[in-house]
Amino acid sequence: MRKAHANSSSDSRVTDQEATVERAITWLGGKVPSFTREALREDFRLQFNYPSQFVAFIDRWYKQGRARRLKRTVIATAATLWEIDDLVDALPIAQQRKVKVRFFEDPHGPISE
- pLDDT means over runs of 10, the chain (113 residues): 47 69 75 81 90 96 88 96 95 96 87 64
The identity of residue 31, as a single letter, is K
3-state secondary structure of 44: helix
- HSE at residue 33, side-chain half, CA atoms within 13 A, is 6
pTM of the model: 0.74
| 56 closest CA partner among 74, 43, 41, 81 | 74
Q: Are 87 and 74 in contact (CB under 8 A)?
A: no
Residue 19: the pLDDT is 81
